[in-house]
Amino acid sequence: MKSIIIKNGEVIDPESGVHDILDVFIQGGKISKVGKSIESRADVVLEAEGMMVSPGFIDLRAHLCDPGFTRREDIGSGSRSGAAGGFTTVVVRPDTNPVVDNSALVYYIMAKAKETACIRVLPSATVTQGMKGDMISPLGSLKSAGVVLLSNGIQPITDAEVMRRAMAFNRTFQLPFSLHCEEPSLSRGGLVKEGKTAVRLGVKGIPETAETVMMSRDILLAEANETKLHINHIGSKSAIDLIRAAKARGGNVTCNVTPYHFYLLDRDIQDFDPNLKFLPPLGSETDVKAIKEGLKDGAIDAIISDHSPWTPEEKDIEFDQASFGAIGLEVAFALSYSELVVNEILSIDELLRKFTVNPAKILGLDLGRLQEGAEADIVLIDPKVEWVVEPDKFESRASNTPLRGKTLKGRPSATIVKGQIVMREGKIQEGALPFK
């Protein structure tokens, strides 16, 4: 393994508060030294003047579609997409085919990652077997196999007693529950948020209570069962109010948001563009304002890609038939930087905290920091570059995004995983397989 020195970069480590022009020396897959004018010889020198140097990004939720849906994405292509976006660690959703509800499938994902991934790929598993919402998955063997989160994909667990028992059983294993909160009896048949946009389009709306009713239940059950609860893709002001109240009571509750939900509004949906169809649905100006305030004051802990790749046959069709979601790995940071930092809503330190140390803490992993002795997961960011989103040129197999043709500012220029350069100047490096 080659040693690397990063010279004269703007080193930002949100955990320690370091923000200075420094060098970073990497040896044996670890950060060996961080300081001024390091003289150590290295096999590779990365000149980083004008660049920001951050811990590698950690994504708490991405669909890499393997096993079963590899026509959309697979672990290899998804990992390359993550590396291009500055992610060094990605937690994959378990709603595959078959769903990840047993240790054999966990081992399959880990084996595929070792063979084909150029970043760290971590498995999650379903709370219930077959994602059916009745029988609880074997939590102990799943944790032993390497699962880091429990989820149920986008399939809600409607039976409160099943959720209560699952959380009670989990007291032994202490895996975080990472949940999509939706009450299907309220959301069923809905396409956009209930309100003026739904009326204008003439379609059934989804009331925000579809999110908050289920969220309230899960928060109360988590508090009663001492469960670490992480809520995915917050979509409304009411949901953020619930998170704030739970945190004020001392609950072990965290949440995330996608960049699309603080960049887009429901009124942006014109001509039934299927790329603007999301779950939870895009919100109002009030919702977006509340999300930005929640990011600023810490109510929202993390920003995720929520990478949801679809084939044209699944997305480029009639609005009511199209699947929900968009690809996100290669635009998540740039869109967040363009919307939040350039517009002075967050500082770069505050933004990077949402991509690095906070997700690491939610997972309970010793990642997300740029300090001596830490894993050498690092991303170099060019904050000045302006670039046009051309999804057909992405590493992802899919191209479903509402950002096509949009100009963003800021982009990862190099991604280092466990001391190996896996992406440089937008190109995945030959032999970039750190897990072999």
Cβ atoms 108, 423 nearer than 8 A: no
Q: Give the relative orientation of helices 285-297 and 348-355 as an angle to the nearest 10 degrees.
A: 90
Cα gap 63→305, rounded to integer Å: 10
Residues sharing a CB contact under 8 Å with residue 434, sequence separation 6 or more, in sequence order: 118, 119, 120, 417, 418, 419, 420, 422
Beta pairing class for 378-388 and 52-55 = antiparallel
Residue 306 designated active-site: yes
User: Positive or negative CA dihedral for 244, 246, 252, 253?
Assistant: negative
Q: How far is CA 35 from CA 1, 45, 173, in A?
A: 22, 15, 40
Determine which one of 306, 316, 320, 377 is catalytic. Answer: 306
Q: Which two tokens stand for residue 216?
A: 């309230």
Beta partners for 90? 59, 121
- Diameter of the chain by CA atoms? 66
Active-site amino acid positions: 306
